[in-house]
């Protein structure tokens, strides 16, 4: 929402108002409050010749009319309408738009029932059309929740400040700044705490991984040692079996040799006959 654009809409009336007084100034106020796109009036209200209307019994009510459009609402008009000039339809619609803006500045959620009461509207369709027009005019941003029958406001233009309300606004802004600072401090503390917890969790995970790797390596080394030890035992057993077989073979050979010798000794020798010629 561009406040400069709203001010630009008022500029032609400011130029004319500087040279007008009395009835002409009163007529200018009527024109400005009826003109499309003009929603801020502070600069016009502050002009000396406009302020002079308060001294005129005949024209002072037009100054009150300008004050109404500057920072008051439609319920204010209904309450004091007998002391104000009659409003045309354009002025009534504009004042209702400004009333929605004022209500939206106070609460983000505006129930239809509250709006209908403030705007003196009995028909929901008429209320929704009025809100949609305000959104198109860039007076506020939000959406209509027809199921819940409420207006959800996300942003609104700023209206002129009534005399004496500046201190209230400054106080509210200081409170907001203080609250915001406290929230930021809390958020920073929370972020630091989360970062510390994350670092501790990461260190714990790394330590867990280190211990796990060490345990796996230890198990692997033990299995390797066991495997190597079993191989050597098998080889020793093989050697022992081989030696035993060789010994058995040597014994067998000795026995067989002795048996052959004994057999030869026991067998009688038969003299060989020689042929005689």
Of 112, 130, 156, the last residue of a domain is 156
Per-residue pLDDT, averaged over 139-155, amounts to: 94
pLDDT digits (tens, 9 = 90+) for 186-204: 888 889 989 989 999 998 8
Judge if 106 and 8 occupy the same domain. yes
Query: Is residue 237 included in any domain, yes or no?
Result: no
Judged by DSSP in three states, 90 sits in helix
Query: Is residue 19 included in any domain, yes or no?
Result: yes
pLDDT digits (tens, 9 = 90+) for 200-217: 999 889 989 889 888 888
User: For residue 31, what pLDDT is reported?
Assistant: 96
User: For residue 277, what pLDDT is reported?
Assistant: 39
Q: What one-character-per-residue DSSP string does 210-258 give?
A: HHHHHHHHHHHHHHHHHHHHHHHHHHHHHHHHHHHHHHHHHHHHHHHHH
Judge if 189 and 117 occupy the same domain. no
Query: Is residue 46 included in any domain, yes or no?
Result: yes
Judge if 133 and 168 occupy the same domain. no
Judge if 25 and 148 occupy the same domain. yes
Query: Is residue 97 included in any domain, yes or no?
Result: yes
List C-alpha distances in Å: 270 to 226, 253, 259, 274, 276: 69, 29, 21, 12, 18
Q: Which two tokens stand for residue 83?
A: 């002391």
How far is the C-alpha of 170 from the C-alpha of 6, rounded, in Å? 23
Judge if 174 and 152 occupy the same domain. no
The total domain count for the chain is 2
User: For residue 229, what pLDDT is reported?
Assistant: 67
Residue 21 CA to its chain's centroid (Å): 55
**Where does residue 52 rank: exposed (0-12), middle (13-18), buried (19+ CB within 10 A)?**
middle
How far is the C-alpha of 97 from the C-alpha of 1, rounded, in Å? 15
Judge if 13 and 138 occupy the same domain. yes
Query: Is residue 276 included in any domain, yes or no?
Result: no
Judge if 105 and 217 occupy the same domain. no
Judge if 14 and 148 occupy the same domain. yes
- The chain-wide mean pLDDT, for the chain, equals 83
Judge if 104 and 190 occupy the same domain. no
Nearest one of 21, 30, 15 to 52, comparing CA atoms: 21
Query: Is residue 242 included in any domain, yes or no?
Result: no
How far is the C-alpha of 96 from the C-alpha of 88, rounded, in Å? 12
Domain residue limits at 217: 164-225
pLDDT digits (tens, 9 = 90+) for 77-129: 999 999 999 999 999 999 999 999 999 998 999 999 999 999 999 999 999 99
Judge if 127 and 149 occupy the same domain. yes
pLDDT digits (tens, 9 = 90+) for 34-84: 999 999 999 999 999 999 999 988 999 999 999 999 999 999 999 999 999
Of 179, 207, 225, the last residue of a domain is 225
Judge if 35 and 135 occupy the same domain. yes
User: For residue 139, what pLDDT is reported?
Assistant: 94
Query: Is residue 28 included in any domain, yes or no?
Result: yes
Of 131, 156, 181, the last residue of a domain is 156
Judge if 94 and 203 occupy the same domain. no
pLDDT of 155 > 80? The answer is: yes
What is residue 116's DSSP assignment? H
User: For residue 73, what pLDDT is reported?
Assistant: 95
Query: Is residue 231 included in any domain, yes or no?
Result: no
Confidence of residue 183 (pLDDT cuts 50, 70, 90): confident
Per-residue pLDDT, averaged over 174-180, amounts to: 75
Q: What one-character-per-residue DSSP string does 156-170 give?
A: EPPPPPPTT-HHHHH
């Amino acid at each position: 929402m561009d406040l400069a654009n709203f001010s630009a809409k008022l500029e032609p009336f400011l130029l004319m108002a500087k040279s007008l007084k009395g009835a002409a100034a009163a007529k200018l106020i009527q024109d400005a409050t009826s003109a499309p796109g003009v929603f801020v009036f502070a600069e016009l209200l502050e002009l000396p010749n406009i302020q002079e209307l308060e001294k005129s019994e005949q024209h002072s009510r037009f100054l009150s009319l300008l004050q109404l459009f500057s920072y008051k609402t439609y319920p204010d008009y209904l309450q004091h309408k007998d002391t104000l000039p009659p409003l045309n339809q354009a002025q009534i619609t504009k004042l209702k738009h400004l009333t929605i803006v004022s209500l939206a500045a106070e609460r983000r959620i505006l129930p239809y029932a509250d709006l209908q009461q403030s705007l003196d509207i009995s028909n929901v369709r008429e209320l929704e059309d009025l809100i949609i027009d305000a959104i198109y005019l860039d007076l506020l941003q939000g959406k209509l929740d027809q199921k819940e029958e409420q207006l959800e406001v996300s942003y609104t233009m700023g209206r002129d400040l009534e005399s004496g309300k500046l201190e209230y606004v400054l106080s509210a802004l200081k409170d907001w700044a203080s609250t915001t600072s406290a929230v930021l401090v809390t958020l920073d503390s929370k972020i630091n705490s989360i970062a510390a917890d994350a670092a501790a969790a990461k260190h714990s995970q790394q330590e867990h991984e280190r211990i796990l790797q060490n345990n796996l390596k230890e198990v692997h080394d033990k299995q390797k040692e066991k495997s190597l030890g079993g191989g050597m035992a098998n080889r020793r057993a093989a050697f022992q079996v081989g030696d035993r077989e060789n010994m058995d073979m040597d014994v067998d050979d000795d026995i067989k040799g002795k048996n052959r010798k004994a057999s030869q000794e026991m067998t009688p020798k038969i003299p060989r006959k020689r042929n005689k010629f």
